[in-house]
Amino acid sequence: MAAPVRAQPPPTSGRVPVAGVDIAWERWARPGAPPVVLVHGTSAHSGWWHCVVPALADAYDVLALDLSGHGDSGRRERYSMAGWAAEVLAVVRALCGRRALLVGHSIGGLVAAGAAARDPSAVVGLVLADSIVSAPPRPADVAVRPRVVRVFPDKAAAVARFRLEPPQPVGDPAVLAAIAESSLRRVPGGWSWKVDPAIWDVVATPAGLTDDLPGVRCPAVVVRGEHSCLVGPDAATTLARLWGRPVPQHTVPGAHHHLMVDAPQAFGAALRVALTELEARPGHVRPAARDRPHLDQGTVQIDY
């Protein structure tokens, strides 16, 4: 089993204005440590990373943002993958000394890839956490179902209706409940989800979502769930062919697509290893052995 993770103090928070909209962020600051920016997936927010942060915050300056239309960030009339990538880059420039390691889950990984492709100087390395790496032959088979806009009388009623998309077993109900509660906002008549329904115009189908991957020049690592319905065991091989360079891959045993819900400690451990690998690439100093995380064989499977 993975070793217990230590509780972290509450993060600081703030906003960065990007093209007329405030982008909210949370930070578990560690001055002098390499900055890591966490990018959430579809209809999610920075709170999805809270259970993973303890695995990273003792070695990294960790920052998680809410893309526009999500969480506590502002809304736009229209959204795009390019616009979200620009928001990630703006946060990196404003808060991370203009360079950072990026970790993105699901579509957040593709947004992070877009940031890396658009400004290679700003992205030291990239972790794609259960992000699709090529357009599926039948996009309709993996299309995301837009969440119906509803108003609930209280938080408990809303949390009881919260569902993962794509559907899957719930690995840790307590983590899911915390995520659901932090996904709510007060509206007239009760509570509703923070996510702007207009984002579905961008993410409802996977067509075009992987267009920025060919332009990624920085080192990258894949982390996937063993039972993911979106990312197969050949994901890193696909990227290695695309980029003409090796791509390490880590499989989290027993996990599905929503890694932080399925196996938060094992996912955090896998991210820690992936970030260590990125830092060990040419131009980076490999952390001393005593600073590297210990993983037993039940925690994460390494694929090369």
The tens digit of pLDDT for each residue in 264-297 reads 999 999 999 999 999 987 644 333 333 333 433 3
Q: Does 29 map to a domain?
A: yes
How many domains in the chain?
Answer: 1
Q: Does 193 map to a domain?
A: no
Q: What was the pLDDT predicted at 62? A: 98
Least confident of 12-26, 125-139, 182-196, 250-264: 125-139
Q: Does 176 map to a domain?
A: no
Tell me which residue of 78, 73, 7 sits closest to 40, measured CA to CA. 73
Q: What was the pLDDT predicted at 166? A: 84
Q: Does 116 map to a domain?
A: yes
* Concatenated DSSP letters of 97-110: TT-EEEEEETHHHH
Could you tell me the residue range of the domain that residue 221 belongs to?
12-133+203-303
Which CATH number goes with the domain that contains 22? 3.40.50.1820
The tokens for 252 are: 């989290």
Query: Which is more confidently placed, 29 or 287?
Result: 29
* 47 has pLDDT over 90: yes
- CA atoms 7, 30, 53, 14: torsion sign: positive
Q: Does 70 map to a domain?
A: yes
Q: What was the pLDDT predicted at 117? A: 98
**φ/ψ bin of 258: left (φ > 0), alpha (ψ from -120 to 50), beta (otherwise):** beta
Sheet order of strands, 12-18 included: 12-18, 21-28, 61-65, 35-39, 100-105, 123-129, 220-225, 249-252, 301-303
- Report pLDDT digits (tens) over 202-233: 887 667 899 999 999 999 999 999 999 999 99
* H or E stretch covering 193: strand 190-193
Please state, in angstroms and rounded to a whole number, the distance separating the CA atoms of residues 253 and 263. 8
Q: Does 159 map to a domain?
A: no
Q: What was the pLDDT predicted at 290? A: 30
* 138 has pLDDT over 80: no
Q: Does 156 map to a domain?
A: no
Q: Does 81 map to a domain?
A: yes
